[in-house]
Amino acid sequence: MGRYWEIASTWTVILAASIAVWSLAAATLPVPDYFLPPPAAVLSAFVELTAKGMLPMFIGESLRRIVLAALLGLFVGVPIGLALGISHRTAQFAYPVLNFFQSVSGIAWLPLMLIWFGFGERTILIAVNYTVLFPVIFNALLGIRSVPPIYVNALRTLGASRWRIVRDVLVPGALPNIAMGIRLGLAYGWRALIAAEMLVGANGLGFMIFNSQAFHLTARIMLGMGIIGALWVALDYFLLRPIEEATIDRWGMVQR
């Protein structure tokens, strides 16, 4: 409890100091108000957009899309990665292919997707799902291949079936990699989501930021940026990171 209190206190001091420096810069720098709005203007934008119901709608749309991508990665990407990793020959073939598509992010595919699918919800979902899916598949495959062969051979010696080996050795051994792949995929997917919302023009936090720049509503832009960062920190710190750490503690090869 003391450790968490120390972390919270440290970040409170850092946040307060940052706001103080920001306020001082906004008040003293010889720039227009829209160039660097003070914290009070950002707070005012938050209150205004919340009262109008726009901000909850934007946040809800972005979260809905990333949740759909997470579910696809979990229920589609993980089984595909496990299936590819079980066979050594298939894994050798799939490794460079998955590595290639993982390196080409969904943001890079967006111009083509806009041509193929147009400016609509489908383009956003395809771009985000693509970005999430390949890191999940890739890490699930790596997880299967990283299980020491001695464990597999031990069960074979005892007469275990192939299904028993997969269920009791390969899948549990791959779980730390799977948890890391989901966390990594969602981090990539979150960035791809914001970029797709900007280009497509659909409702969401990315749309809010991009639409605000056309009218020099800098306070709304900064508000959107802050919410994007805060949402991801909360999601990663309070959900994804604990799941990954618990998985490593339970199934990982390294004891902490």
Task: Give me the average pLDDT of each 10-residue run along the chain (256 residues).
Answer: 72 89 88 86 94 94 93 91 89 89 86 90 91 92 88 81 84 89 92 91 90 90 94 90 83 53
* Per-residue tokens: 131: 């970005």
On whether residue 187 sits in a domain, the answer given is yes
Same domain, 131 and 77: yes
DSSP state string for 101-158: HHHS-HHHHHHHHHHHH-SSHHHHHHHHHHHHHHHHHHHHHHHHHTS-HHHHHHHHHT
* Per-residue tokens: 197: 């919302």
Q: Between the CA of residue 210 and those of 12, 151, 161, 199, 216, what are the distances in Å? A: 30, 53, 56, 8, 10
Same domain, 2 and 89: no
Q: Provide the domain count of the chain.
A: 2
Same domain, 5 and 127: no
Of residues 167, 165, 166, 102, the one with CA closest to residue 139: 102
What is the per-residue pLDDT across 66-77, written as a single tens digit (0 to 9) for each? Answer: 999 999 888 999
Cβ atoms within 10 Å, residue 48: 14
Angle between helices 78-86 and 88-103 (to 10 degrees): 140
Same domain, 176 and 217: yes
Same domain, 26 and 83: no
Domain that holds residue 23: 1-30
Same domain, 25 and 42: no
Same domain, 214 and 95: yes
Same domain, 103 and 190: yes
Cα–Cα distance between 200 and 177 in angstroms, integer? Answer: 33
Q: What global pTM score does this model have?
A: 0.85
Same domain, 135 and 229: yes
| Residue-level pLDDT at 255 | 43
